Each structure stands twice: as C-alpha cells, then as structure tokens.
Amino acid sequence: MSNKIDIDWENLGFSYIKTDLRYVSVWKDGKWDDGVLTEDNLLHISEASTALHYGQQCFEGLKAYRRKDGIVQLFRPDQNANRMNNSCKRLLMPEIPVEKFIDACKQVVKANDHFVPPYGTGATLYLRPFVIGVGDNIGVKPAPEYIFCVFCVPVGPYFKGGMKPVNFTIADYDRAAPHGTGAQKVGGNYAASLYPHELAVKRGFADCIYLDPATHSKIEEVGAANFFGITHNNEFITPNSPSILPSITKYSLLYLAKEYLKLDVYERDVLIDNIDEFKEAGACGTAAVITPIGGIEYKEKLHVFHSETEVGPITKKLYDTLYGIQLGDVEAPQGWIVEV
C-alpha cells in the first residue's frame, strides 16, 4: 500500500486506477455479513455464477468531493442506495440496508483518502458499488449467494473536454426494452449499448442518443447520462419514460432549476422531430456531471443548439450551482450532503 501517489489530477480521464482498499460483503444463508476492506482487487467466484451467465448483477456510481476546507463529502448517497435496491428487487437479488451502503462508501473513501483529488483540480473520487449473483448454479434462477462490493477510482471528465460542448448522433439501436430494465442500473443495458456507442464514436461523435424503444420518436438517454433541454421560454425540460434510468443528477437539476434558478421545469416527452424547441441542451449524470450538447445528428442533419464550441448561459448556471454544491461552495438543500 502506498501513501505517496503520483497522479496528474488536472489531466485525469475516466480510466481504472487500482486504489488501496475496497469493501466486500457476502450474502449467504439469508443475510449479509459485516463486510471487510481488502487490498485484493480480484474476486474469486464460481464459474457457474449467475452474474456471468444471466446478467444477475447491478451497479451504482457516485462521487466523493474534497471541499476547500479539506473535508470530503458524498453527494446524495442515500439516493444511490435506494436505486441499487430497486435494481436488486428487479433482478431478485437481496437488498442492501441504506446505512450499510453509505457506511461502505464512507469506509472506502476514508481508506483511500490520498486518492481523493485535491479541491480545485476538477477531479473527484468515483465510487463504484455493485452486487453480483455468485455460487454454483446452472438453471436460469436467482443465485444462492451474492457479493456486494464498493471500490473507488479518481476520475476527471467522462466526456473529453468536460464543460466543452460535444456532438451526439441518434442510435439505430435500443439500450432497453419498453417494459424491460431500462430504469434499473443493470449490466445488460450497458452491454447492449457497447456496439451503438462504438459506431457513434467511429463517426466522430461523443456517444449516441437513444430514442424510446416503443416508437423511436422521443429522446430517452444520452449514452450513460440523462437528457435535458432549455426551451426558448427558459423552461427546463427532461424526458419522462419508464425505460430511462432515473438519474440522481437529473432530479437534482429539476430541483435546482426550479428553486435556485427560478425556471419552470417539466418532465415530459421530448420529440426528436421537435428538437428545435430547445436553445440549449445537455447530458447529465454522475460521471458526465453536466456536459453541454453542441449538436445532435438525426436523419443525416446536425441540429446545433446554442453553439458547437461555447456552453450556453443557463447550462453554465446549472453547472455552477450543481458542482458548487457538490464541492461545498454553494449551500446544499437539506440532506443532500454526507460528510465522510
């Protein structure tokens, strides 16, 4: 274990770095054990684990932020715990008590304190909790045992350039089915997204945007982030659909846009054929934070919003408010911040 690390915080991307300690807890005979921190980043599991064959697994993503005063804080970890439990329920996996989830995250952050990027570098510590079905099993049925793990990685921007606008193209594929698991954070949705993502990147786009799987007429997700748009009347709009992942960032923005920026906010259908109702658009998520959308390619035409190079003024205000809260520079709504 190293206490001195040599990381170029300002130039971090979104890549795996092995940190010192991760948390592992096992569910067996109907209950979770107390969990331990371990230096071992390898899991030794049965070849017949349901996570490997039938996708019985889910994950989360949240971040730890170092404030100006040096204290480290988590942003709304209870929301991640609730969403993980919703994913667990959908895949017949045992739920994690919310306090256990938050305690595991805190333990991992504390144990890897020197990997929490310094304030002002633009980097943060990304936490990846996950649950997998393990143990010997061959039929399509829930696993006999489960592992809950939380590891962490210091990261920079998910989309290259951070607050610089990037372009997206509309995918010809779906990431989820109309009544499938789009609203749960399960690996299968991401496996389905790898190929369309690759096609988009090869054509020079940051990622692809998914339309609703039933009618292919409404915007759903922006790769691994939610969509929002600002109308010409300064309304904050974000899609409403049962196959979108309920983004914690998106619900935070709905609140901040209304209460801090005094905008009218709506969750409603966003028709791709009506995309010029927006003067600004963005992708939002834990990894993406807020990434301005320069343009969207649809039917061989690029529709540009505010600009392909400059962030729009309302998107910038939303970013400053959200990131300011996450860094402890702006007062947070009650209950949003948990100090480590």
Q: Are strands 62-66 and 124-134 parallel, antiparallel or unpaired?
A: antiparallel
Q: Does 286 bind ligand COI (CB under 6 A)?
A: yes
Q: Which CB atom, from 206 or from 245, has the smaller least distance to ligand PLP?
A: 245
Mask of contacts with ligand COI, 295-314, x by CB under 6 A?
A: --------------------
Total Cβ atoms within 10 A of residue 317: 16
Catalytic residue among 4, 28, 106, 185: 185
Which residues, other chains included, contact 142 with Cβ-Cβ below 8 Å and sequence gap of 6+? 50, 56, 91, 92, 93, 133
63 interface partner picked from ligand COI, ligand PLP, none, CB below 5 to 8 A per type = none
Indicate if 258 belongs to the active site. no
Residues 207-236 that bind ligand COI (CB under 6 A): 224
Q: Does 326 bind ligand PLP (CB under 6 A)?
A: no
CB distance 209 to 111 below 8 Å: no
**Given candidates 74, 123, 248, 325, which one binds ligand PLP under the rule CB under 6 A?**
248
| 88-96, 109-117, 146-154, 242-250 -> range binding ligand PLP (CB under 6 A) | 242-250
From residue 264, give the alpha-carbon distance in Å to each of 198, 257, 258: 36, 8, 6
Q: Which CB atom, from 143 or from 222, has the smaller least distance to ligand PLP?
A: 222
Torsions phi, psi for 76 (to 5 deg): 50, 50
Residues 41-100 that bind ligand PLP (CB under 6 A): 61
Least CB distance to ligand PLP at residue 220 (A): 9
Q: Which residues are part of the catalytic machinery?
A: 185
> Using CB under 6 A as the criterion, which residues of the chain lie in contact with ligand PLP when the complex forms?
61, 221, 224-226, 245, 247-250, 285-286
> Using CB under 6 A as the criterion, which residues of the chain lie in contact with ligand COI when the complex forms?
61, 224, 285-287
